[in-house]
Every structure is written in C-alpha cells, then in structure tokens.
C-alpha cells in the first residue's frame, strides 16, 4: 500500500514535467480557479525556453512520464467530457511508441510464461519489429507438418503490471481528492474514470483477453466480404504472450505502395466505413483503435485489423438509441431525437424536451445546407455530445468510445477519398439494421423478449418479497429504540477523522517543501 506522501511525490514529479514541457502555457489563465492562480504562475517559471508546438506539449510530457501516462493520455482522448473536445483531439495524436526492451528480457519472459525454453516453443524468435507502452512484437516461426510458418509474437513488458498499479493508485488518490474539493470533478466522476482506466488496462495486459476478442470478432465477421482478422495460435498464447499468424499485407498508411498495387481508394474508404458500422450496429462489438497503423490490405483487397487491446461494446439499447438519433437527423425530426435521449434516461427529466430539441436543431439544420460530401457523421456525434453536456447528460463511456472511434475511422476514410459521401455509404448498413430491429419483425422479437423477462420476474417475485419482508423486520428491530452506534464504532470514526486530518496537514507541508526545493534548485 503506497502512503499519501508517496502519492504526492509521484504527482509532484508529473506536475514538474508538465511545467518543464510548457503544458501550463497552453491553459487559459482566466480558467484557473483563484486559489490556484499563485501555483499556476509559479509553474510557468519552470518552462523550458524552447518548448515544442502548443498542440504537442502534453503528448511530449506524457511520453516522458512513461507507459502509464501514455496510456492515461490515450484513454482521456476517448473522454472529451472530462478533458474537453480540443484537448481530446490533441491527445489523439499521442503515439504509443516506446523503445524496445532487450531481446534477452523478451526471451526470458517467454520462457517464464511457458515454463520451458524459448526454443521448444518457437523454431525461431526474432528481434522486435514494433514496441509500445505495454508490449512489443517479434517475428518468429513455428514448426508445422509442412514446414515453418511465420508468426507474430506479442510479449508483455517485464514489470509493467507493477508499475501500472503504482501509478493507477496515484491517479486514484488525485481523483478522490479532486472530488472532495470540486463539484465539477464530482460531476465528471473522476474516480470512476480512473477505475474504468484500471479495468481497461487490466484487460489489455492479459493477452488471453485480446485473443478472445480476436476470436469473437472472427466469428462475427466470417461472412463479411471486405474484412478479416489474423488467426490465433492458442497453443502458444498465455497471459503474457500472444501468438498470431504473420500478416503479409500492405499497411493502409502506405499509400504509395497501395497505389502501385492498383487498389481503388474510393472502394477501400467505403469498405472501411461500412465495416465499422457493421461491427458497431450489427454486432455491438467494435475495434476501438482503428488508426492506419492497425489496418492492412491483403492481396484480395480485404481490410485486416490488428491490435485488439481496446474494444468497444454497445448493448441493444445503445444501438437503438443511435439508430433513432441518425434517423431523426436525416428526417429533421428533432423532437423525436430529443425524446430518445429522455426515454433512454441520458438526460435528467428536470430539463425540457422542447429546449433540448431546440439545441439539437442548432446542430442538425446546418447539416442540411451542405453538400453530402461535406457532412461528417463523426462531427455530428461530437457536436451532439457537446450539447448534451449543457443538459447534464450523464457520461456514457461506451457512446464516447464509439464517437472517438468514429472520428478516427472517418478521418482515415476521407484521407483515402476526400469526396466520400458518408450518408450514402452508411445508408445500406444503417437501413438494414433499422429494418431488422425497428421494423415489424424487430418489434415482435422485442415484444417476445419483454414477455420472457416479465415471466422471469414473476417467477422470482415470491423470493424477492420474502427477502424484502425479512430485511424490514430486521430494520424495525434494530431501530425500535433509535439507531445506536457502539462505543467501538464511535471511537473508530474519531480515529479515522483524526488520521485524515493528519494526512491533510502532512500533504500541505510536503507540497510546500517540494515547491521550495524546486525554486531553490532552479535558482
């Protein structure tokens, strides 16, 4: 368990790196709360004389701070509700590229994971070909009945889990104190943000989970004509090692090579958009990191995705919500679009549907005055979530992850075809899904599912009533003479409050000492 002073030291180091890289220089001083103004001005004194461009300073600082902060930055890029739309766009530029760790360390990690020498697992284990914050990839070969088969071997960085856990505890410490002090921090649910990051990173560092995601997507897309995923070598996959087929294909980022091979860029752009929408709407399971470095094109023109560490899921409710919104914007039925938000419980009922519909109209009307090629579905979702923030819409991480991925996918598609008509491209996929789920057949299916759920509830009602009556009897007995706390409980509450006060005083002294040390050292 890391103590409060240790957390403060870690966070103070991060603050110092931010100051040195000029991160505070891109913040509007007027937006800084009055109590923090002196500290803000002090931080500006430690900027390097030659900082980088404003839009890259935060990325540079996060990279200097190491893997945990790089992953934090990438995660916050998916949360414009927390960091703001402009900063989220800047964080999307953050590249998860790290120096590779030594070959000997990688071989030792593989041997430890399988409990036997590397040579008995792989016929060949080559040097790293790519390295990121959590893992690096090696090219290798395995023995088969017909000879050697090339494979991609992803190896977890040694010691990375321990470092992540320490940094995540510091993030949690900062988030809890921020929520204690700020109503805005409580609204943004910063503690929950850190907890979501913890779960995300935990899944990403277990390669069995990535293999399972690959397997699920392979099953979902086995009939798709324009998309496939690499095959998994389950016998050579563990928590720390993931082995896949080696992809002999052209990176989507290599436009010169793609053009030389005669690929139709307009066709690739349409395939990319329709593939993503099929995954999101049809399957409710999508690759949430579809930048060009994770996409390849094989000789048959099919898209191949790699790196399934970050995945998004949408329930039927969220998919219905999105389909209704898209339909409402297309038909200019803004009142219905507003009703969908309220019916889903995303906007508190204290707000007016009419006022919300008016705000949505401000987004939708400019779209109908533009050429089809100028309409951005990603921009539409971005503006929609910005407006909903004004109406206290509670954060929906799955929808924000979809919106962030939509921005990336649409950007890649438009780089292939600048005149891409998003609506006509999306229409076949969206229409098919809406007909299936919002048409007569879908309504009958939903009614049948509702009847099944009602039957389950009725079947469990006697047990629920019995447990409820038992709880009420116990509550009545315990409070008949008033709610009484034992002396031991009262003493523990007093001790806990005293400890909290001591840590608060100690924290203030540590911060003051750190600032004094920094000033003296700088002078």
Query: What is the H or E stretch that residue 185 is in?
Result: helix 183-188
What contacts 24+ positions apart, CB below 8 Å, involve 120-128?
A: 121/236, 122/151, 122/153, 122/236, 123/148, 124/148, 125/153, 127/103, 128/100, 128/103
Contact 360, 337 (CB under 8 A): yes
Q: How many angstroms separate the CA atoms of 518 and 504, rounded?
A: 21
Q: How many angstroms separate the CA atoms of 15 and 12, rounded?
A: 5
DSSP 25-70: GGS-GGGS-GGGHHHHHHHHTT--SS---GGGHHHHHHHHH-HHHH
In the block, tokens 């005083």 appear at 505
Contact 277, 381 (CB under 8 A): no
Counting beta carbons within 10 angstroms of the beta carbon of residue 343, is it exposed (0 to 12), middle (13 to 18) or buried (19 or more)? middle
Counting beta carbons within 10 angstroms of the beta carbon of residue 439, is it exposed (0 to 12), middle (13 to 18) or buried (19 or more)? exposed
Q: Which residues contact 346 (CB under 8 A, 6 or more apart)?
A: 321, 388, 393, 394, 396
Show the DSSP H helices in 417-439 as ranges.
Answer: 422-438
Coil/strand/helix, residue 341: helix
Query: What is the H or E stretch that residue 126 is in?
Result: strand 124-131
Active site members: 289
Q: How many angstroms separate the CA atoms of 165 and 2, rounded?
A: 10
Q: Which of 79, 83, 80, 81 is nearest to 58 (CA)?
A: 83
Contact 348, 392 (CB under 8 A): yes
Q: How many angstroms separate the CA atoms of 166 and 268, rounded?
A: 43
Tokens of residue 438, six digits:
């919002």
Which residues, listed in sequence order, are joined to residue 135 by a DSSP beta bridge? 156
| C-alpha angle 280-283-286 in degrees, rounded to nearest 5 | 45
């Amino acid at each position: 368990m890391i103590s409060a002073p240790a957390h403060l030291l870690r966070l103070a180091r991060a603050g110092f790196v931010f100051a040195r890289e000029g991160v505070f220089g891109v913040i509007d001083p007027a937006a800084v709360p009055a109590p923090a103004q002196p500290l803000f001005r002090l931080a500006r004194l430690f900027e390097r004389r030659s900082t980088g461009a404003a839009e890259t300073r935060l990325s540079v600082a996060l990279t200097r701070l190491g893997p945990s902060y790089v992953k934090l930055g990438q995660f916050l890029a998916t949360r414009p509700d927390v960091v703001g739309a402009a900063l989220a766009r800047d964080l999307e530029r953050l590249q998860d590229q790290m120096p590779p760790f030594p070959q000997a360390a990688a071989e030792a990690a593989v041997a430890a994971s399988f409990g036997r020498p590397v040579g008995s697992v792989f016929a060949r284990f080559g040097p790293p070909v790519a390295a990121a914050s959590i893992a690096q990839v090696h090219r290798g070969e395995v023995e088969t009945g017909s000879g050697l088969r090339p494979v991609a071997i992803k190896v977890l960085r040694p010691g990375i889990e321990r470092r992540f856990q320490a940094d995540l505890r510091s993030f949690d410490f900062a988030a809890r104190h921020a929520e204690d002090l700020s109503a805005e921090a409580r609204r943004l649910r910063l503690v929950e943000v850190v907890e979501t990051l913890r779960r995300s990173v935990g899944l990403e560092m277990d390669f069995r989970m990535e293999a399972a995601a690959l397997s699920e997507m392979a099953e979902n897309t086995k009939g798709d004509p324009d998309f496939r995923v690499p095959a998994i070598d389950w016998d050579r996959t563990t928590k720390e090692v993931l082995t896949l087929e080696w992809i002999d294909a052209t990176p989507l980022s290599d436009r010169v090579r793609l053009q030389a091979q005669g690929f139709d860029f307009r066709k690739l752009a349409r395939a990319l958009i329709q593939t993503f929408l099929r995954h999101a709407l049809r399957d409710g399971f999508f690759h949430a990191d579809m930048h060009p470095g994770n996409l390849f094109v094989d000789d048959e023109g099919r898209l191949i995705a790699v790196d399934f560490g970050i995945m998004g899921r949408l329930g039927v409710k969220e998919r219905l919500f999105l389909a209704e919104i898209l339909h409402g914007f297309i038909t200019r039925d803004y009142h219905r679009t507003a009703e969908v938000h309220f019916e889903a419980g995303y906007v508190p009922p204290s707000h007016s549907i009419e006022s919300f519909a008016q705000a949505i109209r401000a987004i939708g009307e400019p779209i109908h005055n533009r050429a089809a090629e100028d309409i951005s579905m990603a921009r539409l979702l971005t503006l929609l979530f910005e407006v909903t923030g004004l109406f206290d819409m509670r954060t929906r991480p799955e929808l924000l992850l979809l919106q962030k991925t939509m921005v990336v996918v649409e950007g890649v598609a438009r780089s292939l075809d600048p005149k891409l008509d998003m609506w006509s491209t999306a229409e076949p996929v969206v229409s098919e899904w809406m007909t299936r789920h919002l048409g007569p057949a879908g309504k009958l299916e939903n009614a049948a599912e509702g009847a099944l759920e009602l039957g389950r509830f009725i079947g469990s009602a006697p047990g629920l009533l019995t447990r409820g009556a038992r709880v009420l009897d116990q509550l009545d007995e315990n409070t008949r003479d008033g709610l009484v706390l034992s002396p031991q409980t009262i003493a523990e509450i007093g001790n806990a409050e005293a400890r909290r006060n001591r840590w608060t005083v100690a924290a203030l002294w540590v911060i003051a000492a750190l600032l004094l040390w920094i000033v003296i050292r700088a002078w």
